[in-house]
Amino acid sequence: MTSRRAFLRQLANVEFTRATPELVPHLLTLFDDPSIDHQDLARPVASILLRDETNEALLDAYLRRCINTSYALEQRFVALRRAILLDGLRPPPRLPESLAIQAFHNGYVWNESEEERQALAELVEIRGDVARILISEPAEEARLAATLIDDVPFDAVTAAVRAQYEEHPYPRWLSLHRRDVIDDAPRRILVAGCGTGRDAIALALQHPASTIDAIDISRRSLGYAMRKARELGATNIHFRLADLRRIDGSYDAIHAIGVLHHLADPVEGLRALRNLLAPNGKIVAAIYSRRGRESLHRLRALGGDATDLRAARARIFAAVDERERAELEDLDFFDLAHFRDTLYHAHQLELTPRELDAAIRDAGLVFEGFDDVPEELAGERDLIAWDAIEETNRDLFRNMFRVRLRSA
């Protein structure tokens, strides 16, 4: 990892109490760097904008290249938009366009009145970046997606999950960290359930000698992935509209992050992945932790009916106190696709380590450990022991187990 990216990872959780004259130019330089994930700038930049909104360049960069994750800033942006649309406020020249771009990027998660919707069409001229982001790029995604051959089975669960991701492609991402290139031997890598392609594209850029097959059941998500792959120059990646249970092949590595828990039977999915492994092949999978997601049950209850996702989200923010609201300030609650995926998914399953152990064994696989756990626990290979560990530390895995597997 380059020193700049390492610095950015540390910066991502920083909140500034004031901005020195030297700080803002450095942040603007980071926004101009195409090799880093600009979303990591969201928290530090938001902390500055909360204290000083007069820096037009920083505000413009934030609105166009990040998805806002500050509730206080969101309230200011919503009030500002209303003042521009309905009260005759004369904004800086680029601000209406920047607000329109931010609203598009966050899936129009902000509540708005019918008066605002009517006034918006008259105010924002569709040109430049607005035309590119709101019209040209989605049109390109639709054109690319239309070239895919559909090989997705029809069953009730698959149909419901697919419908969700056609309406809300997931995850919404704007940029990514370009990892250091690894000049290793060519491998075949499968990314099962690639969604909008972020992880698959990152792998393709990091391993240029390898071939990446990226599959998903959502045509619209894949259209976004295909456009971003072209934009970032990932040429060693092939996208397919397919179900992981219905493909053939032999892969040296399989990544299945956040897909198995959306199947009717995760064991069936694990068996299918095992059958795709080449000799000595490895699987990395991420599966929801039941205990790690317990806090979400209360939030879902606070949100209530999800017929109107924006209204459900507003009910949650109105019901929580300031401390809880601060804990919600991440993408899961500030982008509509993330919000739906986190709290109101069409189908999801959650497991304990004990249940995960049974699923892995039933699929003919061997557990080789968890990623992203404390160093002193990293060598533990007994999932029953992990069940006891998680019982006493229920936030250990946050939302998901990230497991490494091999064939038995």
Contact by Cβ (8 Å): 221, 286? no
Residue ranges of the chain whose pLDDT lies below 50: none
Find, among 94, 99, 97, the residue nearest to 78 by Cα: 99
Residues 65-106 pLDDT 10s? 999 999 999 999 999 999 998 988 888 989 999 999 999 999
CA dist 132 and 139 (Å) reads 10
pLDDT for residue 124:
57
pLDDT for residue 99:
94
Q: How far is CA 179 from the centre of its chain?
A: 18
CA dist 286 and 403 (Å) reads 6
pLDDT for residue 4:
66
CA dist 393 and 385 (Å) reads 13
Contact by Cβ (8 Å): 96, 73? no
pLDDT for residue 22:
84
pLDDT for residue 50:
93
CA dist 202 and 196 (Å) reads 12
Looking up tokens 């500030």 gives: 334
State if pTM tops 0.85.
yes
Residues 235-254 pLDDT 10s? 999 999 999 999 999 999 99
What is the set of domains in the chain, with CATH numbers?
Answer: 3-125 (no CATH), 150-290+349-407 (3.40.50.150), 291-343 (no CATH)
Q: Which 3 state secondary structure label does DSSP give 188?
A: strand
> Cis omega before residue 171 (within 30°)?
yes
pLDDT for residue 10:
86
CA dist 195 and 200 (Å) reads 9
The CA–CA distances, whole Å, from 200 to 91, 232, 341 equal 40, 12, 19
